[in-house]
């Protein structure tokens, strides 16, 4: 099951990934998250892996960011992750097994500064410790909770950065491997955490960042 706000993008994903069932959901709304959980469980009967990947973020200097914008970022990046983990976690606890994978960011591990995103960085930092706390609370009840912290990858959110030569130079100069990541380079981390290859891994934050956080 794949959830996102835009049906056209979901349909395109479903065409590319055979077997994917698309569902239009606004994850910024609590009742939409509850509807999604209910429909998924009704349709599938059980959920073994939850990937919390929804996220938003726009650069603003901390002194200029409005409280409304702050709240909207925290709602999607932090509150929705907790709420979905809680909703699906209850089902996983009943079945005695499950995996939760949160998508954090290198900006949940280190500051950005040069690209000011206080709400985004704060929300991703919260995801890092939320991952650890859920992992410890559920460790003896059959659920593993881990996170991936991607570095710079081309996405809709980072498109403007990649379109700008100074942005591309910034990424190349500050990433030890000298380049941004390619989408497929996240696959191995995701599959490792989702599979039985990681049965002794929980509470881990796996940075896939070309060495960014090792500097």
Are 210 and 175 spatial neighbours (Cβ–Cβ below 8 Å)? yes
pLDDT score, position 158: 87
Consecutive H or E run containing 40: helix 30-44
Beta pairing, strands 22-24 & 205-208: unpaired
Give the separation between CA 77 and CA 71, rounded to whole angstroms. Answer: 10
Q: State the DSSP string of 160-198.
A: HHHHSHHHHHHHHHHSTTSS-B-GGGGHHHHHHHHSGGG
Active site residues: 120
Structure token pair of residue 25: 């959901």
Structure token pair of residue 127: 């995801």
Are 102 and 147 spatial neighbours (Cβ–Cβ below 8 Å)? yes
Give the separation between CA 151 and CA 131, rounded to whole angstroms. Answer: 18
Long-range contacts of 67-71 (CB under 8 A, 24+ apart): 69/119, 70/118, 70/119
Per-position pLDDT tens, the chain of length 215? 999 888 888 888 888 888 888 899 999 999 999 999 999 999 999 999 999 999 998 888 999 999 999 999 999 999 999 999 999 999 999 999 999 999 999 999 999 878 889 999 999 999 999 999 999 999 999 999 999 999 999 988 888 889 999 999 999 999 999 999 999 999 999 999 999 999 999 999 999 999 999 98
Give the separation between CA 100 and CA 138, rounded to whole angstroms. Answer: 11
pLDDT score, position 49: 98
Q: State the DSSP string of 126-148.
A: HHHHHHHHHHHHHGGGTEEEEEE
- pTM here is 0.94
pLDDT score, position 92: 98
Long-range contacts of 104-109 (CB under 8 A, 24+ apart): 104/128, 104/131, 104/147, 104/148, 104/149, 104/205, 105/55, 105/149, 105/150, 106/149, 106/150, 106/151, 106/207, 106/209, 106/212, 106/213, 108/149, 108/205, 109/149, 109/205, 109/207, 109/213
Under DSSP, the state recorded for 117 is B
**Domains delineated in the chain:** 1-45 (no CATH), 47-214 (3.40.50.720)
């Amino acid at each position: 099951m794949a959830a996102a706000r835009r049906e056209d993008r979901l349909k395109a994903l479903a065409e590319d990934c055979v077997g994917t069932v698309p569902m239009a959901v606004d994850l910024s709304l609590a009742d939409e998250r509850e509807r999604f959980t209910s429909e998924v469980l009704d349709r599938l009967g059980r959920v073994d892996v939850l990937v919390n990947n929804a996220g938003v973020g726009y650069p603003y200097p901390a002194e200029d960011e409005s409280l409304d914008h702050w709240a909207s970022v925290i709602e999607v990046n932090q509150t929705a992750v907790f709420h979905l983990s809680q909703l699906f976690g209850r089902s996983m606890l009943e079945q005695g097994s499950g995996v939760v994978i949160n998508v954090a960011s290198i900006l949940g591990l280190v500051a950005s500064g040069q690209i000011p995103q206080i709400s985004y960085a704060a929300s991703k930092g919260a995801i890092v410790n939320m991952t650890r706390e859920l992992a410890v609370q559920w460790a003896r009840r059959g659920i593993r909770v881990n996170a991936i912290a991607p570095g710079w990858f081309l996405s809709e959110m980072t498109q403007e950065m990649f379109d700008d030569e100074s942005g591309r130079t910034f990424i190349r100069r500050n990433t030890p491997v000298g380049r941004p990541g390619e989408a497929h380079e996240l696959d191995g981390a995701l599959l490792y955490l989702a599979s039985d290859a990681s049965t002794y891994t929980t509470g881990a934050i796996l940075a896939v960042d070309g060495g960014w956080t090792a500097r």
